[in-house]
Amino acid sequence: MNELLEEGAGRGLDHRGRTALHHAIRDELDALRKDCSDGISRELDNSFWEQVEGRLALLPAMSLVGAQNGTGVVLHTNLGRAPWASEAITAANQVAQYGTVEISRETGGRGRRDKTIAQLLAQLSGTEDGLAVNNNAAAVLLMLSSLAQERKVVVARRELVEIGGSYRMPEVISAAGATMLEIGTTNRVHLSDYESALEDPDVACLFKAHPSNFEISGFEGEPSLEELASLCHERGVPFVYDLGSGVFNGAHLPGLSGEPTVPSALEAGCDLVSFSGDKLLGGPQAGLIVGATPLVEKLRRNMMTRCLRLDKTILAALEATLRLHALGEEVACSHIPGLSMLGRAVEQLQKTADLMASQIVQSCPGISVDVASCEGRVGSGASPNEPLPSIGLLLQVEGFSAEDFALKLRNGTPPIFSRIQGEAVLLDVRTLSATPEELAFLLSSSLA
């Protein structure tokens, strides 16, 4: 395949990008093999390449395309958050046509769409049941609308956060048809605030949200999860926690020290915990809810759950990702790209950067390159103020400002997203997936 790719590129057939060329060659090879087995003799000659060209011409020009992330933000929301594990990509591919989405292999009749996901979520979290919906924003809406419609939700003022876009806690609570009962101040909330709020018989649940993209420091404080949980259990009120990023494995990784894990939140006594599929879980976009069966079942019966259900490819990718987590810390942290990127040590990044730099010097005569320390971020609301020490390539092209060169890179095939540092374009090596050869090729072709 590598030889064919080179030959195709030599024939100028890589104008839609290497991936498109790869797919066109692969599909035409399949056709050629089929013809040969049907007794039609064919060769890898000019007519083969004409067919490949025809396949490329049929491809619609896509606006949503794969990209290289040189920003150093591992879970970059605008670049699609978590990159999927190859196991997840394969699983999604396999069900893209027909698949055992909602069918029983035993009876051939209807099966349950989320049964395996529910079991895996429960097993990983150390609880009874789980549910998956479109995203965590939907999960929070579903929890509050199922438990607190036309009733009150107790929430601390210091947790009335805006996550980004238009996701603002007070608005989510009102969209769920519930009324917010705000307690405490912007910096502190006491157990006694919660105790008095729960005197109100109209309170349906206590809601807690992870602050995600901001931090309160200085004179601040709040009761522990355990204290809140035992208060809730005493009063018979469910304790709902929107955790944001769902950590199962990788809690030891740089940048994640302050993140609560899903099992620890449940162990502390939370009744329902929700989190995203595409943050630190490292899978596809989804909203996951875990807890005891009676509560999860209540959500499952809500009509809204049907409106928020997942596509078959997402279900498959999610199942594959959860299975990697179930295999334990070591497998999860090496196979799930978001986690393995966070685990890359600076010395390792330095080696990659050096290899990339020498390849660029060798094959991109117009580009000057320096290797330097830089700072990345976890992204997506995990440890917002904690930099990830990293290594970057500082690139400059004579006659181009850094902004102009960055624009060229964004217009490449595939596009490369960078940061600007001083006069140079910075590519943080941690989040790049290209090999040194691929990167040098992309850089030189973006200037061509």
Ligand X SMILES: *Cc1c(COP(=O)(O)O)cnc(C)c1O
Rule CB under 6 A: which residues touch ligand X?
135-137, 140, 163, 167, 209-210, 212, 242, 244, 276, 287, 381
SS (H, E, C) the chain: CHHHHHHHHHCCCCCCCHHHHHHHHHHHHHHHHHHHHCCCCCCCCHHHHHHHHHHHHHCCCCCCCCCEECCCECCCHHHCCCCCCHHHHHHHHHHCCCCCCCECCCCCCECCCCHHHHHHHHHHHCCCEEEEECCHHHHHHHHHHHHHCCCEEEEEHHHCCEEECCEEHHHHHHHCCCEEEEECCCCECCHHHHHHHCCCCCEEEEEEECCCCCCCCCCCECCCHHHHHHHHHHHCCCEEEEEEECECCCCCCCCCCCCCEHHHHHHCCCCEEEEECCCCCCCCCCEEEEECHHHHHHHHCCHHHHHCCCCHHHHHHHHHHHHHHHCCHHHHHHHCHHHHHHCCCHHHHHHHHHHHHHHHHHHCCCEEEEEEEEEEECECCECCCCCEEEEEEEEEECCCCHHHHHHHHHCCCCCEECEEECCEEEEEHHHCCCCHHHHHHHHHHHHC
- Least distance between ligand X and beta carbon 242 (Å): 5
- Residue closer to ligand X by CB (options 74, 439) is 74
- Least distance between ligand X and beta carbon 208 (Å): 10
- Least distance between ligand X and beta carbon 381 (Å): 4
- Least distance between ligand X and beta carbon 140 (Å): 6
- Residue closer to ligand X by CB (options 28, 242) is 242
CA separation, residue 110 to residues 100, 107, 116, 302, 311 (Å): 10, 8, 15, 20, 17
Cβ-contact 281, 135 below 8 angstroms? no
- Residue closer to ligand X by CB (options 163, 391) is 163
- Residue closer to ligand X by CB (options 172, 198) is 172
- Least distance between ligand X and beta carbon 116 (Å): 21
- Least distance between ligand X and beta carbon 423 (Å): 35
- Least distance between ligand X and beta carbon 139 (Å): 7
- Residue closer to ligand X by CB (options 181, 240) is 240
- Nearest-CB residue for ligand X: 244
- Residue closer to ligand X by CB (options 127, 136) is 136
- Least distance between ligand X and beta carbon 238 (Å): 18
Residues sharing a CB contact under 8 Å with residue 223, sequence separation 6 or more, in sequence order: 189, 190, 191, 194
- Residue closer to ligand X by CB (options 142, 229) is 142
- Residue closer to ligand X by CB (options 28, 278) is 278
- Residue closer to ligand X by CB (options 180, 369) is 180
- Least distance between ligand X and beta carbon 277 (Å): 7
